[in-house]
Amino acid sequence: MKRTVNLIPEEYYERRRLRLRLAAWGAALLIALPALLGLYLWERGQCAGLQRRLAELAAQSERRQQLALRVGELRQVLGGLQAREAAVRSALGRQTGARLLAELDRALEQGVWITSLELDRGGRPQGRSEAGRGATSPPAGQGGAVPFRLRGYAPTNGVLARLLPRLGGMATLGPARLIYTKAVSVGSRPAVEFEIEAELRCG
């Protein structure tokens, strides 16, 4: 009877089984790697697309907010202009007020901003119209002249210097006198705050 004796150590078989398992795992990894890489690239593309979309939505939201603010500012300016026109028309009478506003519109250069019109009888202001307010004055008498003050801002001193003779040449105003100026900033832009006095011809 033949007997077979296995002289190969058990570690040899263990190492062989380990090598087979490693080879199987390596083959599985090589098969799965392209799929994993494709999935990673797809996910990355989706994230980039979402980030771009979020950026576009944020830009659109900011533009809408800016437009809303601009519309609100324009409405305030329009309300102030309407209030000033209503106050001047009430104070001076319809015909004189309309003529004054029309002449002021022709006399003012671009960039000049009027903040108030003030009438003064007997050294006391009788009426004032400011942007955003609707104050009115008692009606002025027919004939004669009423002290008149105009306040506002001009972009430069040169523009302000040209404004004085233009106001003095208006049919509804007498000679205009500059009684106050100050260099200021409106927003981020330099400007000149001014106050001009003249006589308003009523009648």
Please provide residue 45's backbone torsions phi and psi, each rounded to the nearest 5 degrees.
-65, -40
Q: Would residue 58 count as lying in a domain?
A: yes
Residues in CB range of 172: below 8 A, 6 or more apart: 96, 99, 100, 103, 200, 201
- The structural domain count of the chain equals 1
Q: Would residue 1 count as lying in a domain?
A: no
3 state DSSP class of 9: coil
Q: Would residue 3 count as lying in a domain?
A: no
Domain that holds residue 76: 10-203
pTM: 0.44
Q: Would residue 35 count as lying in a domain?
A: yes
Q: What are the Cα distances from residue 77, in Å, to 10, 70, 71, 80, 82?
A: 96, 11, 10, 5, 9
Radius of gyration of the chain (CA): 41
Digitized pLDDT (tens) for each residue of the chain, 203 residues in all = 666 666 666 777 777 778 888 887 777 777 877 777 777 788 888 888 888 888 888 888 888 888 888 788 888 888 877 777 666 656 655 566 678 888 888 888 888 988 888 876 554 333 333 333 333 333 444 445 778 888 999 999 999 999 989 888 888 888 889 999 999 988 888 999 999 998 887 65
3 state DSSP class of 153: strand
Q: Would residue 42 count as lying in a domain?
A: yes
Q: Would residue 170 count as lying in a domain?
A: yes
Q: How far is 83 from 85, CA to CA, in rounded Å? A: 5
